[in-house]
Structure 1
């Protein structure tokens, strides 16, 4: 998906493709820019978009596309409106209509709005846009078909009509007895100007030049979009729609539903992930590159994705692009960090889950046994030296857990609910002494 153009009543898909090789989609609604941006579009051209009936293209999704380094062009209709509003952020406006909005010469949405037919009929326009009426009247005045006062009367009458009722028949009905009526009506057959189509063509030429490398997308550095709750809501809606639109994904979930215990396990994990990401959004938490790399290393180690070819095969099997895989890991790191901030509030809920799972009693018995044993030893007094801490750390991770020592120990401590390094070292010192003295292993189900 190198280039995507949203077009409808202004210009047809076949004509768009005479200018550049592009995926041509219907007029854009809210979420459509974000949807094609996350699928890897290199350049997006916004010509037509919905004004009513469905939510219009959101400014923030355009800003998000710009943040990803995607060139976004706008002209003619909704594209001209959004480009005038967002040109200072890097959106590229093209054409006279964009210039008129940007300068303040026009400001109303109805200047470019039209009534049009359904997609099956090619979004055929059923009314005349005010910007084209203005361009036509200006051309007629320039060719001395209309005098200035008559041109002003025509524009005033057209502007007074509801945009769906604007057509030359309706406009000229108010001037059927005017001396200039017949001359202007005859001139319209060849002299009318389609301002929106002209601007759309100009924008497509700019896009084609950009894609060929002949022009730069713009000089404005992209700004980071704030991940507000409203933005997160849009993202979740689009991602849910995209997920459920694939029959393969639906079949995978159907298979999972056939094993209810496993379904409930993953359902709980999904709910936890969802709530954690919401929490991260509320506090404005982001993921550092180092944390993302740590997530990737851990995940590849868990699934033995050590070679590049094995990772590529895994991505293919899981219908993931490299960018989507990175996003998945980033969300995982973000969710984990958000959950860590709730550690102090989770203890009652952890105890509840242990009781429900039948694990509580076993852990309680082991804790009591450890307490009795260590009380009898009376050897836990005094702080640990750094060499002792290092030996305990190596024993705990490499011998007891049989895993590598985490590169980011601070994050590991947060992930297991330890409030400080001292608390962690005291925890594993007590375990070491109990383990060595009693030669016991953890009770079944006490570690997972």
Structure 2
């Protein structure tokens, strides 16, 4: 077999094959190293990998590959990050970026992350990795086109940008009028450094030498991977991929496409989900462990997953394992954070959407009718029982349980809190009290 190399925006497949006769696969995601290792290649190398949107390659599957006697190399991007993390266990790291992670000079994922085109367009990078900005600044100092102070300003400005918008054009636009940087931007087109590409090429040379020498160990004993339930879930999911009758994600989407209206509605919600997560990333939002625990508890309650075996069955049915489930929970927490941050400015857009879909006129007519009914109602009115109003609205009208936290629910509707929610429900009850319990929640007299 040929060695397997996972690469994308850092280095093109044809450039890899000029150095090494290898099977080149797209950027690595969770499960990909396990899939490759099952075929027993002479070596596996990770250059590029997914950081968000798709679950990242799991440390345990790399350890499992090494347990099988397969040397695993890492460099440049995701490979450098994982190699630094697993260096003590025998993963072979190559290059300056790997060394920087290993020595703690850099730590963030965004140092190597880039925005890139899809596979159909060759994974072309659309932004600049922070490690290349740092390497370019260092070369510019050596070339005497940047002073150390100007280099510090350059790297601080680049680091302040989200990795998807970190481009030399954006950096230069922010620093164009800074004294001492004009010479640097004139020098940049010929002087900039491709730090990730340089490290990837170094790794390929190291692999070629390694494979030619038939070396198979650096003296580090492979560690046995614990076969935890989460690991077993990943293995079961991957082993099932080749079984007849097991639907792949693409087949699931094909089933959805047979219902065009549902597909379009789901696609639009997915687009909004993607934009909301990008917004959360730009704002630097994050989900701490307490928030994730609260989101998980809410999800398990809503889906009747209180028992552990029920949760494991749900994960299996949805092609998830523990890590990808946590990714899903993190996304849910970030979506809620974005919803809370954006809600105050959404009313005008919601009204535009109602007009576009044709629902505005019907809701306007109902609001006017409700206002007239309440204004004309001059009979005695009992003080509404807040709890009974909540029960009437949620259980009778919506067919669902009263939320544990009415304040949070109210804010999700763009209201200030529980009091505004109660007032909204009370007005609805007075407009059509026959739907509720007129003896306990109030009456029109």
TM-score, reference length from structure 2: 0.54
2: CA distance between counterparts of 1:103 and 1:8?
26
1:91 paired to 2:91? yes
Distance 1:233 1:173, change over 3 A: same
Distance 1:245 1:161, change over 3 A: farther
Aligned to 2:222: 222
Judge conservation of contact 1:90–1:218 (CA < 8 Å) in 2.
Answer: yes
1:109 paired to 2:101? no
Judge conservation of contact 1:74–1:94 (CA < 8 Å) in 2.
Answer: yes
Shift of 1:2: 2.6
CA offsets 1:311-357 (integer angstroms, 9 cap, x no match): xxxxxxxxxxxxxxxxxxxxxxxxxxxxxxxxxxxxxxxxxxxxxxx
Shift of 1:72: 0.1
CA offsets 1:85-132 (integer angstroms, 9 cap, x no match): 001001000000000000000000000000000101110000000000
Judge conservation of contact 2:27–2:50 (CA < 8 Å) in 1.
Answer: yes
Aligned to 1:124: 124
Distance 1:245 1:159, change over 3 A: farther
Q: Which runs of 5+ in 1 are unaligned?
A: 248-274, 279-448
Shift of 1:246: 10
1:6 paired to 2:11? no
Distance 1:7 1:83, change over 3 A: same
Q: Report the number of matched residues.
A: 249
Judge conservation of contact 2:71–2:216 (CA < 8 Å) in 1.
Answer: no
2: CA distance between counterparts of 1:214 and 1:42?
9
Q: Secondary structure at the match of 1:45?
A: strand
Distance 1:8 1:229, change over 3 A: same
1: CA distance between counterparts of 2:189 and 2:53?
33
CA offsets 1:254-304 (integer angstroms, 9 cap, x no match): xxxxxxxxxxxxxxxxxxxxx9xx9xxxxxxxxxxxxxxxxxxxxxxxxxx
Aligned to 2:147: 147
Aligned to 1:402: none
Q: Secondary structure at the match of 2:86?
A: helix
Shift of 1:183: 1.3
Shift of 1:214: 5.9
2: CA distance between counterparts of 1:109 and 1:210?
28
Shift of 1:216: 4.6
Q: Secondary structure at the match of 1:19?
A: coil
Q: Secondary structure at the match of 1:62?
A: helix
CA offsets 1:186-206 (integer angstroms, 9 cap, x no match): 111110000000000011111
CA offsets 1:157-216 (integer angstroms, 9 cap, x no match): 110110101011111112111233331111111100000000000111111111111655
2: CA distance between counterparts of 1:44 and 1:242?
22
1:27 paired to 2:21? no
Shift of 1:41: 1.2
Matching of residues 45-84 of structure 1 within 5 Å: 45-84=45-84
TM-score, reference length from structure 1: 0.54
Judge conservation of contact 1:111–1:130 (CA < 8 Å) in 2.
Answer: yes
2: CA distance between counterparts of 1:27 and 1:47?
8
CA offsets 1:44-79 (integer angstroms, 9 cap, x no match): 010000001110000000000000000000000000
Q: Which runs of 5+ in 2 are unaligned?
A: 248-312, 317-445
Q: Which has the larger radius of gyration?
A: 1
Aligned to 2:37: 37
2: CA distance between counterparts of 1:157 and 1:195?
19
Judge conservation of contact 1:92–1:217 (CA < 8 Å) in 2.
Answer: no
1: CA distance between counterparts of 2:245 and 2:135?
43
2: CA distance between counterparts of 1:214 and 1:233?
35
Judge conservation of contact 1:2–1:40 (CA < 8 Å) in 2.
Answer: no
